[in-house]
Amino acid sequence: MSQAVLFDTPGPRARRNILVANVIGGVVAAGIVGLVLWKLGQEGQLAAGRWTSLFTGSAWMNFFLPGLQNTIVAALYSVVLAVVFGLVFGLGRLAPLAPVRWLAGMVVEFFRAVPVLIMMVALYIGLGAFGVVSPRDVPLVSVVVALTLYNGSIIAELVRSGVFGLPKGQREAAAAIGMTHGKSLRLVELPQALIAMLPSLVSQFVVILKDSALGYIITFNEFLQLSRQFGGGNGNMLQALIVCAVVFILINWLLTRAAALVARRLSRRTSGRTQPRLVNAGAAGAAGTPAT
């Protein structure tokens, strides 16, 4: 339902009321901003030195950019591995053999229900204690594996719901020309389901990027960690963290826009639904399609 039907096209009185409400809303917003600025000023947070040091070459070359690089590397590894994991277990849930379906279903449901941070911390200390990977790589590996298991099971659900979301006629047509279950899945249903799930996959990338910041808790040198180190060293913690937040918001916002764009472009190439799901609440995601 478009929002325009919630209220009549405003007449003169309603327009006046809206104007008044607009002014009040604006004043309240300005008041909040003013209050924040006043508080910041009172604590000396607006001093120029605390902000200018953020925009020096050394801040970006030594802290922000390397951090961002680590974040993106972890996110890319996780995305690729999660897609593989998702395909394997998503197809497992569609398998003709019941035990395979149950096993895949149990794995997916389990990793969807466990908080990413719990997996990350257990991996971090476990891998460290057993010396499976070199100590230097432990944080990265823990972040990537935890993100892969969680997001992979979300993607498995995407694969499954993508196939289920196709019109029944697709499978029936494949059966009518004599294709077996596997052939119909491989040649008719999956290609369309995968195209239909691309926008959701792009918005899942937002979740992976956001959750990679959890690596901060297990000492992974990602963007948040290095922003914090920079802020701690230069006495401008608040400002450095604000830069970190702004960069994350920008990247994720662009990705969300890209997902919507991809959805529009692809909607003609598949009979599945290409609407990206409501973007995920991150470190947690959820069960069901509109994953928080």
Partner 1 sequence: MNLFEQVSFLFSSYNIPAAFWVNIQLTFWAAIGALLVGTVLGLMRVSPVPSLQWLGTAYVTVFRNTPLTVLMLLAVLGVWSQLKITFAQDFATNFFIYACVVLAIYHAAFVCEAVRSGINTVPLGQAEAARAIGLPFLPAARLVLLPQAFRGAIAPLGNVLIALIKNTTVAAAASVAVETSSVMRGMIEANSNMVILIFMIFALGYVILVVPVGVVTTSLSRKLAVTR
Contact letters for partner 1, residues 89-128 (x by CB under 8 A): --------------------xx--xxxxxxx-xx--xx--
Q: Which of residues 208-227 bind partner 1 (CB under 8 A)?
A: 209-214, 216-217, 224
Residue 290 in contact with partner 1, rule: CB under 8 A: yes
**Distance of closest approach, residue 119 Cβ to partner 1, in angstroms:** 8
Spatial separation of the C-alpha atoms in residues 213 and 248, rounded to whole Å: 10
CB nearer to partner 1: give 187 or 278. Answer: 278
Say whether 230 sits in a helix, a strand or coil.
Answer: helix
**Distance of closest approach, residue 72 Cβ to partner 1, in angstroms:** 14
Among 2-10, 136-144, 158-166, 181-189, the segment contacting partner 1 (CB under 8 A): 2-10
Q: Please, what is the Cα angle at 130 between 220 and 109, to 5 degrees?
A: 70
The number of residues that bind partner 1 (CB under 8 A) is: 70
Q: Which of residues 43-62 bind partner 1 (CB under 8 A)?
A: 43, 45
Amino acid at 51: W
Residue 244 in contact with partner 1, rule: CB under 8 A: yes
Listed residue (79, 86, 93) closest to 208, CA to CA:
79
Q: Please, what is the Cα angle at 140 between 137 and 146, to 5 degrees?
A: 130
Within 10 angstroms of residue 156's Cβ, the number of other Cβ atoms is 28
CB nearer to partner 1: give 179 or 241. Answer: 241
**Distance of closest approach, residue 98 Cβ to partner 1, in angstroms:** 21
Residue 80 in contact with partner 1, rule: CB under 8 A: no
**Reduced to 3 DSSP states, what percent helix, strand and coil does the chain have, rounded to the nearest 5?**
80, 0, 20
**Distance of closest approach, residue 111 Cβ to partner 1, in angstroms:** 9
**Distance of closest approach, residue 242 Cβ to partner 1, in angstroms:** 7
**Distance of closest approach, residue 106 Cβ to partner 1, in angstroms:** 10
Ramachandran quadrant class, 288 (left: phi over 0; alpha: psi -120 to 50; beta: rest): left
Q: Which of residues 154-213 bind partner 1 (CB under 8 A)?
A: 206, 209-213
Within 10 angstroms of residue 198's Cβ, the number of other Cβ atoms is 19
Structure tokens at 42: 């009172």
Output Rg (C-alpha) for the chain, integer angstroms.
24
**Distance of closest approach, residue 157 Cβ to partner 1, in angstroms:** 12
**Cβ-count burial 201-234 (b if 16+ within 10 Å, e if not):** bbbbbbbbbbbbbbbbebebbbbbbbbbebbeeb
Applying CB under 8 A, among 103, 258, 260, 284 the residue interacting with partner 1 is 284
Q: Are 115 and 284 in contact (CB under 8 A)?
A: yes
The residues binding partner 1 (CB under 8 A) are: 1, 3, 5-8, 10, 14, 18, 21-22, 25-26, 29, 39-40, 43, 45, 109-110, 113-119, 121-122, 125-126, 129-130, 206, 209-214, 216-217, 224, 228, 231, 237-238, 241-242, 244-245, 248-249, 252-253, 256, 278-288, 290-292
